[in-house]
């Protein structure tokens, strides 16, 4: 049985004929009304210090570039965009405080930010309480759908599962090392991957799992264990959900112990061009990463984006990466929704978003789905000696993001749909909304 229609949507439907009748009038005055709220404030919530600054500071710069470009085109609804930048400093509780500041004090209309899942989960209740809108640009573990969050990074079925399939089917991997930073994203992703591998017939004894703290630097004993685990005669690979600056000493230790991609390939979900810029990639040639974008992909849109990025930063050596493209997609979806809705009102923008499409940077289209995830291509890339990736495998088409994993018993019966069901946790067996809905 479907839940009751929200008051907001009920009013919209009742007034629909009247709104159509007066559409021309309201359209004519939309920009004028919006000017009363100028400037349009855009929150930027990324760590500029601490262990995650190596990854997140680039996304702050990306957001500022996109805001500048939009202002140069005339802004939105006759208003200029004003960035409001805060630094949660890789401190998860501080993310929640800074989110509350952006929404309650600075009165921003939208926020682009967070990287780790623990930071996203820290701010999620704040956005739901204060009815803010967050665009989240990083791959994550799924198992979540909030009306107040748009997930433009990859869900597991758009990164982790295709990567494992590639290693299993194309490389012949039989033993699996799941290495991750000790927080929700790696643990949940590895829970999904372990179940998926066992469903494919992999013995539990052929799966090794290990977690380390943020900023971990002493990898000698762990890499030694990986080396021993891979020495029993079965092809072994590492699936890495190691996050932040811990990747630098991890890859250095692989080289120290002379573990090459031919011996034990590593496929990373959190290492892109930005992280590789601080590493001597010579000994890492052939190791892999799974993303939905690489700087090396040759399309006119990507070429223009890279040119704009270099011009904005004044540095031709600044690299681009997947979360930057996800930020680009999210920003364009938001501006398109605001233009279509004629307002920055959060409820109206959220209702307008599902079904909108924008170009991605790799030659395809990103569509915002009712579950607040997007469609994305999947690429596997090999590390090259210039710190870039050479694509060795890709999907034929864009893959729709799945909020709830098909490989976990409690999740496969759940569906997220904010367009028709107004529910992020709709149980398809009981036909009821079991989690956050627009009524709450």
pLDDT digits (tens, 9 = 90+) for 262-312: 999 999 998 889 888 867 788 788 999 999 999 999 999 999 999 999 999
The answer to the question of residue 208 being in a domain is: yes
Residue 436's pLDDT band, with cuts at 50, 70 and 90, is low
Is residue 275 a part of any domain in this protein? yes
For 336-358, the pLDDT digits (tens) are 999 999 999 999 999 999 999 99
| 10-24, 226-240, 418-432: range with lowest mean pLDDT | 10-24
Cα pseudo-dihedral 136, 138, 142, 143, rounded to 10? -40
**Token pair in block for residue 236:** 């072994």
Torsion-angle region of residue 407: left (phi > 0), alpha (psi -120 to 50) or beta? alpha
Please report, rounded to a whole number, the percentage of residues in the chain having pLDDT higher than 90. Answer: 82
Does residue 432 belong to any structural domain of this protein? no
Please report whether residue 284 resides in a domain.
Answer: yes
Domain limits at 242? 157-291
Nearest to 295 by CA among 276, 273, 310: 273
In a domain, 253, yes or no: yes
pLDDT tens for residues 134-171?
Answer: 999 999 999 999 999 999 999 999 999 999 999 999 99
Helix (H, G, I), strand (E, B) or coil at 23: helix
Rounded Cα gap, residues 291 and 259, in angstroms: 23
Dump pLDDT digits (tens) for 175-197.
Answer: 999 999 999 999 999 999 999 99
Rounded Cα distance between 423 and 437, Å, is 4
What residues are paired with 149 via a beta bridge? 134
φ/ψ of 135, rounded to 5, equals -100, 115
Query: Is residue 433 assigned to a domain?
Result: no
Number of domains in the chain: 1
Assess if residue 271 is contained within a domain. Answer: yes
Radius of gyration of the chain (CA): 22
Sheet containing 414-417: order of strands? 414-417, 423-427, 432-433
Measure Cα distances from 178 to 182, 188, 296 in Å.
12, 12, 27
Question: What's the whole-number average pLDDT of the chain?
Answer: 90
Q: What is the pLDDT of residue 247?
A: 85
Instruction: Give me the CATH number covering residue 278.
Output: 3.40.50.2300
pLDDT tens string 1-59:
333 333 344 333 334 434 444 444 444 344 344 443 899 999 999 999 998 998 899 99
């Amino acid at each position: 049985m479907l839940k009751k229609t929200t008051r907001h949507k009920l009013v919209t439907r009742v007034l629909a004929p009247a709104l159509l009748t007066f559409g021309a009038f309201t359209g004519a005055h939309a920009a004028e009304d919006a000017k009363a709220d100028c400037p349009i404030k855009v929150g930027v919530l990324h760590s500029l210090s601490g262990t995650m600054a190596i990854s997140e500071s680039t996304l702050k710069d990306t957001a500022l570039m996109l805001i500048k470009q939009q202002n140069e085109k005339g802004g939105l609804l006759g208003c200029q965009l004003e960035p409001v930048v805060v630094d949660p400093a890789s401190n998860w509780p501080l993310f929640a405080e800074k989110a509350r500041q952006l929404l309650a004090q600075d009165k921003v209309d939208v926020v682009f930010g967070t990287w780790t899942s623990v930071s996203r989960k820290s701010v999620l209740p704040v956005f739901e309480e204060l009815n803010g809108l967050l665009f989240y640009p990083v791959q994550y573990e799924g198992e979540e759908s909030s009306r107040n969050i748009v997930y433009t990074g990859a869900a597991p079925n758009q990164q982790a599962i295709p990567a494992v399939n590639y290693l299993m089917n194309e490389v012949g991997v039989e033993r699996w090392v799941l290495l991750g930073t000790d927080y929700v994203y790696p643990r949940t992703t590895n829970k999904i991957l372990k179940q998926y591998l066992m469903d494919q017939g992999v013995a539990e004894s052929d799966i090794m799992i290990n977690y380390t703290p943020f900023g971990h630097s002493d990898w000698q004993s762990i890499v030694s264990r990986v080396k021993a685990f891979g020495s029993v005669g079965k092809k072994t690979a590492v699936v890495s959900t190691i996050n932040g600056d811990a990747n630098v000493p991890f890859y250095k230790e692989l080289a120290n112990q002379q573990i090459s991609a031919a011996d034990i390939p590593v496929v990373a979900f959190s290492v892109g061009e930005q992280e590789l810029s601080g590493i001597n990639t010579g000994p890492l040639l052939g190791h892999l990463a799974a993303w939905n974008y690489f700087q090396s992909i040759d399309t006119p849109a990507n070429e223009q984006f890279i040119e704009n990025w270099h011009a904005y930063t004044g540095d031709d050596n600044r690299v681009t990466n997947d979360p930057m493209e996800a930020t680009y997609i999210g920003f364009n979806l938001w501006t398109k929704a605001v233009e279509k809705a004629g307002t920055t009102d959060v409820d109206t923008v959220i209702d307008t978003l599902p079904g909108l499409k924008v170009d991605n940077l790799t030659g395809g289209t990103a569509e915002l789905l009712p579950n607040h995830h997007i469609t994305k291509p999947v690429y596997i890339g090999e590390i090259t000696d210039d710190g870039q990736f050479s694509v060795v495998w890709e999907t034929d088409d864009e893959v729709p993001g799945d909020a709830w994993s098909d490989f976990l018993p409690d999740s496969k019966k759940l569906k997220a749909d904010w367009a028709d069901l107004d529910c992020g946790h709709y149980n398809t067996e009981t036909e009821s909304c079991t989690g956050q809905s627009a009524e709450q």
